[in-house]
Chains A and B, each alone.
Chain A
């Protein structure tokens, strides 16, 4: 019996588990998945928690609901990946040998990387919304906040879901309006990027949205430290931005396990072939989702598109054939823009987000790079798709590789 081992049962690992279970010959292959936590979080829902649209119960389910029968599930911390010996050591010493390893250990925020960020101000007037703790603490804070200057700061790139910070300020503009205190709130978007987003056309569109909503943009700001005693962000070049309420997107890093095992770069992301998803260093290790160092977005949609490609490549690898699956960097993101509307973008390594219709060319129902009600419904409907189709590895009516049809260049 050969052994395929998946580390991490988040979005990427769970999808892959379901695909592998349905594809591999179970007389030949044993499939095992390891994760330290038993709860699955619908992370796209974290964005809505600060504004009371979702609560914690809306974004959690037991991981076990999504595991197919007949696979081995181990809930444990992992001590080390020993790639030279083709084995993984769990906390407590148990050894799991493997023939093929899939690393899907994701990324998480590390506020400790920035001086002053995780000091006395943390979760008092400095919040994140990328963790359930941060999002719920922020909900509690906003409930009673009477206004002032709210600053959203991205510490450094890359981050998980690079559109989420924009969505946050768009929603905040709407929410403060609903609360009747928009005139008492100043919102400032402070980013290390040269504009509102990375890609030029989308950056321009989002920049116009910020402007229209009265949100000020401070680009090219590389934060060196947070002076939490004086409520100030200070850049490496000694520029500063005052805040009353700071929403921080801290440095994102891969799991410490990757660093401990000597498999990562300086952010603990695993160097990975951007087309085949094979790790650069070991041919029987593949990497999926946020754990890679790929120049693609870190997001569930990306992991989903990658999973189809990876499934093909695992089969080729087992058959001792060249890896033909080529991931193109495809990402697809619904962006909440407030007041019941949304914007949709679809792009890959080479093609920046363009206007058009999606997924049916010329028809839609969704509109690319445009603000519509239908796009908002797409976003809200996505939670159902996520729990019922996506995690279970079902086919969605979207191609893994990006299509130019329906886009206007």
Chain B
């Protein structure tokens, strides 16, 4: 556990840079994390996906999977990989201020 300067405030993050508390998240923090992940600019389409993920996380306690985002017509899988190249499940969760997705066993 450590803190990190994101969008002008000191934010607690875990060893992999994921926010410890998803409630401190705001759009500026999202933009700052996205930039570090090589996503610049963070578009409305990105935010649409991220905000849906946050909503589900708050309701269910877990972030939706890629398969679920596709099935609920939030974003087709192909587009998701274009929006968050190099690992959308992890990247989108990180930018959304959610914990690291549980790797399956």
Contact = CB atoms under 8 A, between A and B. Distances in A.
B94 to A, nearest CB: 15
Nearest to A348: B105
Contact of A158 (B71, B81, B104): B104
Contact of B105 (A158, A236, A266): A158
Interface string B42-71: 000000000000000000000001011001
B41 interface: no
Instruction: Give the secondary structure class of A's interface.
Output: loop
B105 A224 contact: no
A156 B67 CA distance: 10
A71 interface: no
A156 B77 CA distance: 13
Looking at A158, A224, A236, A296, which has the most chain B CB atoms within 10 Å of its CB? A236
Nearest to A293: B62
A297 B104 CA distance: 8
Bin the interface of chain B by size: 10 to 19
A198 interface: yes
A99 interface: no
A148 B71 CA distance: 38
B104 A236 contact: no
A266 B81 contact: no
A266 B87 contact: no
Nearest to B90: A194
A237 B79 CA distance: 10
B67 A266 contact: yes
A322 interface: no
Interface residues of A, number: 20
B87 A220 contact: yes
Contacts of B86: 220, 237
Looking at B81, B86, B103, which has the most chain A CB atoms within 10 Å of its CB? B103
B103 A193 contact: yes
A259 to B, nearest CB: 11
A236 B78 contact: yes
Interface of B: 65, 67-68, 71, 77-78, 81, 85-87, 102-105
18 contacts: A157-B103, A162-B104, A198-B104, A199-B105, A220-B86, A220-B87, A236-B77, A236-B81, A237-B85, A237-B86, A266-B65, A266-B67, A266-B68, A266-B71, A295-B102, A295-B105, A296-B105, A297-B105
Given A156-B67, A224-B78, A236-B81, 20 more contacts: A157-B103, A157-B104, A158-B104, A162-B104, A193-B103, A198-B103, A198-B104, A199-B105, A220-B86, A222-B81, A236-B77, A236-B78, A237-B86, A265-B68, A266-B67, A266-B68, A295-B102, A295-B105, A297-B105, A331-B105
Q: Which 10 A-B pairs have the closest CB atoms?
A: A157-B104, A236-B81, A158-B104, A266-B68, A198-B103, A297-B105, A266-B71, A266-B67, A198-B105, A295-B102
